[in-house]
Structures are given as structure tokens and as C-alpha cells.
């Protein structure tokens, strides 16, 4: 096949490693995105090296994620105890580690740089200039967008991030956005060039996440086959709003006390972000609402175990205050489980309202209770939405995402090379 990138792709993921388990700490959809696309690039003959910050002295300098995909752990600051807001002070050390790695190879070892999140973009900007290759950047979230939709009690993103994002947006050869909405936000809020902004939707692993036996899934989790199961998968933090699901479940029981004998709220994930300061807050909320007996907490799940959680649920809740896309919603739908999601960010793309699930305009417990009950307690509607969920998920795949990324690298590379030639010619003429 025609390889669209000469050399390797250097993927930068400063604050979180694709080797980490999504659902806790800073690991989430971005980790999945990087791992899935890097693996598929390597299968297409494009080697990938992922640079991330070392967080333990026990991590090897280099680890293999998949054939053709290496993860390089760069020492930058103390191994533990650093949050994302502490990392800007370590970017110089991280950048030095990245540049040292390239210096051990012949020129052209890396053919493109793809940075994920603004911290990585700061490093990518310097690497791009040093190596003479294009920089493609994926923001995943934007500070201005997050600050406009803060959950109660959450701290706003700092100004250093706002300024840093604007710098990366101005410097990147290409910006990729998950949705048209995100692309518009990049242009309107960050001054991005529309001609350098490309919409590339994320995907879902349709081999791993597919419809299965609900009764068997419930048996594996110790849930009665006739239970009414409401599910949540994700990091436990205010931004993801798992409290909305608990409050909605309590409201459902207030309306129908007899439902308590059958209702199960399944929560899979670990503390992250603001949740790290209050790791038992969700358990305490369940007790305060009087529903501790019906809430099941699971640690973050991976692979087949995660698919089992999706299949066991009658409906999955994605009540986030903001999502650039919402991979959990796609994964659940691919398993044949309808999704009730907040009508924010990229979720209206990830969920087809009234076809694969429902979108809720707000976070009130009464409206969420009504939406969840209308799916979970209505078998005919649930089955109709389940069929729509599978069909909707099939429109997304990591193969399609990967092909679009490789095409974007190639376009950016051609434009970058032409720009360098023009500068060289101009320099000769002026000289």
C-alpha cells in the first residue's frame, strides 16, 4: 500500500499514558483514542512512538503497546504526586527528553508529530520546528468550553491553559476536532484557521463491543436477570456527573417505591480530578439519598469485562456537564444498550436522539428520572432504541478514524514541505 507518512509518527501524550487503565486518574477516552489509532497505523505499515511522562521508577524506558507501537516513558519531574496543573513546569524537561530521543537517529526518523491535549501541543510545537515535520494537534477538551460548563464546586481551568491552548492552535499545521461543534469552538473561541481544522470523529472497537447475552452478563456480575439496571462507566468526578444518575434513581424510587426490589444502579470507575479530593463522595451520596442498598460500585473495567457491564444494563447514563465526544456512549450502543445522555458537547453526535437513546437538556433529577424510566421500564421502547443503538454505532469505527488521520498527516506534510521550500527560495533570492 502507499504509505502516507515517511518515517514514524511521534505521538505526544504528556499527562497520561495509553498503557493506563481508562476510568481512573487522568486516563479516559483520550487514552483509548491514542491506543486504538496507533495500533491501526502500525498495521498499515506506519510505526508509531508514543511519548508520555514517566510516573514510576519501575516503568521501563520503552514498552511495546502493540507490534509497531512503542511507548517511551520520559523522566520529567517527580514520578508521583503531580496533577495536570503542575505539569507546565515540567514541559522543558519533557521536551528535552523527546528531542534527545530523536537525536539518536538519522534525520527523518519521525515524519509527523501528533500531540494530544494542550500540554503535549506545547512540546509538539518545539519538536515540529526542530525536526522540520508537520504538527497535528487534537485538543480533546478546551479550557474555555469547560469553564463555561463547570459543575458546581469545580475549579475553573487556569489562565496558563487558556493561553497555552491559543498558542498551540496558532502553531499547529492541522487541528483535528471530534465534531463540527468542536471545530466551530476552535475557530470562534481560539481563533483557529478553518482551513487547517479537520473534523475526524472517534470510533469504537466493533469487534470487542457488540451485542451479547444480557442474562449471562448479569450472571457474571451477580445481578438478578429480572433487575432494572441503570449503568454508569467513567471517571468519578464532578465533570462526569455520576451524582446525576444517583439522584435520578432516588427520584424514580420516590415515584414508585415498589421499584426498589428490582432497581440496580451499576457504577464502574475510579476517582479522578476533583474526585481525588473526595474519593468516597459518591458512596456517601448514595447513603444520604437512601439508595446505598441498590448501588453497585465496580473498579474501572477493561476489555471483555467492560463489555459485560454495558450488556448487563438496560440503559447507560452519560450525564456529563461537558464531553468533546463521549466514547462510553458509543461503546454501550455498540453492545446494544440504549444511552441517555446530556445534550452537551459531542454527545448529540455520539447519541442519535430518539433513535439510539435520548438526549436530556439539563441535569435536573426529575427530568433524568423521567428519561431513564422511559427507556428502562418500557420494554418495547428499549428494544427499539437498542436496535437503533447498534445501527448508529456501526457508523463509527477506529479504522475510519485512522484512515482520516493518516490522510491529514499527508496533507499537512505536503503543505509543510511546500512552505519550507518557499522560505528556502526566498532566502536564496534575498541572499
User: Could you report the per-residue pLDDT of 152-196, keeping only the tens digit for each?
Assistant: 778 899 999 999 999 999 999 999 999 999 999 999 999 999 999
Q: What is the pLDDT of residue 421?
A: 79
Instruction: Quote the CA–CA distance of 322 and 326 in Å, as a whole number.
Output: 9
Give, rounded to a whole angstrom, the gap between the first and last alpha carbons of the chain: 42
pLDDT tens for each residue of 194-211: 999 999 999 999 999 999
Of residues 428 and 140, which shows the higher confidence score?
Answer: 140
Name the grid cell of 210: 457488540
Residue 357: pLDDT over 50: yes
Instruction: Quote the CA–CA distance of 21 and 115 in Å, as a whole number.
Output: 20
The correct CATH number of 214-394 out of 3.40.50.2000, 3.40.50.150, 3.30.300.20, 3.40.50.300 is 3.40.50.2000
Q: What is the pLDDT of residue 165?
A: 96
Binding residues for UDP-N-acetyl-alpha-D-glucosamine: 21-22, 29, 235, 240, 301, 323, 331
In three-state form (DSSP H/G/I as H, E/B as E, the rest C), the secondary structure along the chain is CCCCCCCEEEEECCCCCCCCCCCCCCCCHHHHHHHHHHHHHHHCCCCEEEEEECCCCCCCCEEEEECCEEEEEECCCCCCCCCHHHHHHHHHHHHHHHHHHHHCCCCCCEEEEEEEHHHHHHHHHHHHHHHCCCEEEECCCCHHHHHHCCCCCCCCCCHHHHHHHHHHHHHCCEEEECCHHHHHHHHHHHCCCHHHEEECCCCCCCCCCCCCCHHHHHHHHCCCCCCEEEEEECCECHHHCHHHHHHHHHHHHHHCHHHHHCEEEEEECCECHHHHHCCCHHHHHHHHHCCHHHEEEECCCCHHHHHHHHHHCCEEEECCCCCCCCHHHHHHHHCCCCEEEECCCCHHHHCCECCCEEEECCCCHHHHHHHHHHHHCCHHHHHHHHHHHHHHHCCCCHHHHHHHHHHHHHHHHHHHHHHHHHHHHHHHHHC
387 close to 420: Cβ distance less than 8 angstroms: no
178 close to 325: Cβ distance less than 8 angstroms: yes
36 close to 14: Cβ distance less than 8 angstroms: no
Q: At what angle do helices 398-430 and 29-43 cross, to 10 degrees?
A: 80
Q: What is the pLDDT of residue 23?
A: 65
Binding residues for 1D-myo-inositol 3-phosphate: 15, 26-31, 84, 117, 141, 161
Q: How confident is the model at residue 90 (pLDDT cuts 50, 70, 90)?
A: very high
Q: What is the pLDDT of residue 279?
A: 78
Residue 1: pLDDT over 50: no
Instruction: Quote the CA–CA distance of 345 and 110 in Å, as a whole number.
Output: 33
Q: At what angle do helices 180-190 and 159-171 cross, to 10 degrees?
A: 100
Enter the CATH code of domain 8-203+398-430: 3.40.50.2000
pLDDT over 70 percentage in the chain: 95
pLDDT tens for each residue of 113-130: 999 999 999 999 999 999
Question: What is the arrangement of strands in the sheet containing 357-360, beginning at the earlier edge strand?
Answer: 295-298, 263-268, 228-233, 315-318, 339-342, 357-360
Q: What is the pLDDT of residue 43?
A: 96
Of residues 9 and 239, which shows the higher confidence score?
Answer: 9
C-beta atoms surrounding 324 within 10 Å: 25
pLDDT tens for each residue of 370-418: 999 999 999 999 999 999 999 999 999 999 999 999 999 999 999 988 8
Q: Within 13 Å of residue 40, how many CA atoms lie on the same side as its CB?
A: 19
Q: What is the pLDDT of residue 86?
A: 86
* Residues 294-322, mean pLDDT to the nearest whole number: 96
* Residues 139-147, mean pLDDT to the nearest whole number: 93
Note the Cα 233 to chain centre separation in Å: 12
Q: What pairs with residue 296 in β-bridges?
A: 266
Give CA separation, 229 vs 74, 86, 329, 337, 360, in Å: 43, 39, 16, 11, 19
Question: Which among 160, 186, 188, 192 has a CA at the least distance from the CA of 173?
Answer: 192
119 close to 88: Cβ distance less than 8 angstroms: yes
Q: What pairs with residue 360 in β-bridges?
A: 342
Binding residues: 15, 21-22, 26-31, 84, 117, 141, 161, 235, 240, 301, 310-311, 313, 323, 331, 337
Question: What global pTM score does this model have?
Answer: 0.91
* Residues 322-326, mean pLDDT to the nearest whole number: 90
5 close to 107: Cβ distance less than 8 angstroms: no
Binding residues for Mg(2+): 310-311, 313, 337
C-beta atoms surrounding 401 within 10 Å: 21
C-beta atoms surrounding 48 within 10 Å: 24
Instruction: Quote the CA–CA distance of 374 and 370 in Å, as a whole number.
Output: 6
Q: Where are the domain boundaries for CATH 3.40.50.2000 in the chain? A: 8-203+398-430, 214-394
Q: What is the pLDDT of residue 307?
A: 97
Instruction: Quote the CA–CA distance of 252 and 430 in Å, as a whole number.
Output: 75
Amino acid at each position: 500500500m502507499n504509505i502516507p507518512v515517511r518515517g514514524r509518527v511521534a505521538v505526544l501524550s504528556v499527562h497520561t499514558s495509553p498503557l493506563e487503565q481508562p476510568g481512573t486518574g487522568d486516563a479516559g477516552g483520550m487514552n483509548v483514542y491514542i491506543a486504538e489509532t496507533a495500533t491501526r497505523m502500525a498495521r498499515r505499515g506506519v510505526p508509531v512512538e508514543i511519548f508520555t511522562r514517566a510516573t514510576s521508577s519501575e516503568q521501563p524506558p520503552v514498552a511495546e503497546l502493540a507490534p509497531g507501537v512503542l511507548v517511551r516513558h520520559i523522566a520529567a519531574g517527580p514520578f508521583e504526586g503531580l496533577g495536570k496543573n503542575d505539569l507546565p513546569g515540567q514541559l522543558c524537561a519533557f521536551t528535552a527528553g523527546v528531542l534527545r530521543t530523536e537525536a539518536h537517529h538519522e534525520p527523518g526518523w519521525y515524519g509527523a508529530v501528533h500531540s494530544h491535549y494542550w500540554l503535549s501541543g506545547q512540546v509538539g510545537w518545539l519538536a515540529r520546528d526542530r525536526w522540520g515535520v508537520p504538527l497535528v494537534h487534537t485538543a480533546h477538551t478546551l479550557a474555555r468550553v469547560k469553564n463555561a460548563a463547570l459543575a458546581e464546586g469545580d475549579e475553573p481551568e487556569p489562565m496558563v491553559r487558556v493561553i497555552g491552548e491559543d498558542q498551540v492552535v496558532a502553531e499547529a499545521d492541522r487541528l483535528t476536532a471530534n465534531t463540527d461543534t468542536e471545530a466551530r469552538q476552535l475557530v470562534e473561541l481560539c481563533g483557529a484557521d478553518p482551513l487547517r481544522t479537520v473534523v475526524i470523529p472517534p470510533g469504537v472497537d466493533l469487534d470487542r463491543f457488540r451485542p451479547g447475552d444480557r442474562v449471562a452478563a448479569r450472571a457474571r456480575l451477580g445481578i438478578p436477570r429480572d433487575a432494572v439496571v441503570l449503568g454508569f462507566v467513567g471517571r468519578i468526578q464532578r465533570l462526569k456527573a455520576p451524582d446525576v444518575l444517583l439522584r435520578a434513581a432516588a427520584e424514580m424510587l420516590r415515584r414508585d417505591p415498589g421499584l426498589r426490589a428490582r432497581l440496580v444502579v451499576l457504577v464502574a470507575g475510579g476517582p479522578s480530578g476533583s474526585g481525588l479530593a473526595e474519593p468516597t463522595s459518591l458512596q456517601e451520596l448514595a447513603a444520604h439519598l437512601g439508595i446505598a442498598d441498590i448501588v453497585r460500585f465496580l473498579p474501572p473495567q477493561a476489555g471483555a469485562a467492560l463489555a459485560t457491564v454495558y450488556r448487563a444494563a438496560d440503559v447507560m447514563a452519560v450525564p456529563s456537564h461537558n464531553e468533546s465526544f463521549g466514547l462510553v456512549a458509543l461503546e454501550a450502543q455498540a453492545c446494544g444498550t440504549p444511552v441517555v445522555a446530556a445534550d452537551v458537547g459531542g454527545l448529540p453526535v455520539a447519541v442519535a436522539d430518539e433513535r439510539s437513546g435520548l438526549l436530556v437538556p439539563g441535569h435536573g433529577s426529575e427530568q433524568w428520572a423521567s428519561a431513564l424510566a422511559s427507556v428502562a421500564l418500557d420494554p418495547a421502547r428499549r428494544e427499539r432504541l437498542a436496535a437503533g443503538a447498534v445501527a448508529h454505532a456501526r457508523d463509527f469505527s477506529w479504522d475510519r478514524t485512522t484512515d482520516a488521520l493518516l490522510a491529514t498527516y499527508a496533507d499537512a506534510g505536503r503543505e509543510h514541505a511546500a512552505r519550507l521550500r518557499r522560505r528556502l527560495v526566498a532566502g536564496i533570492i534575498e541572499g
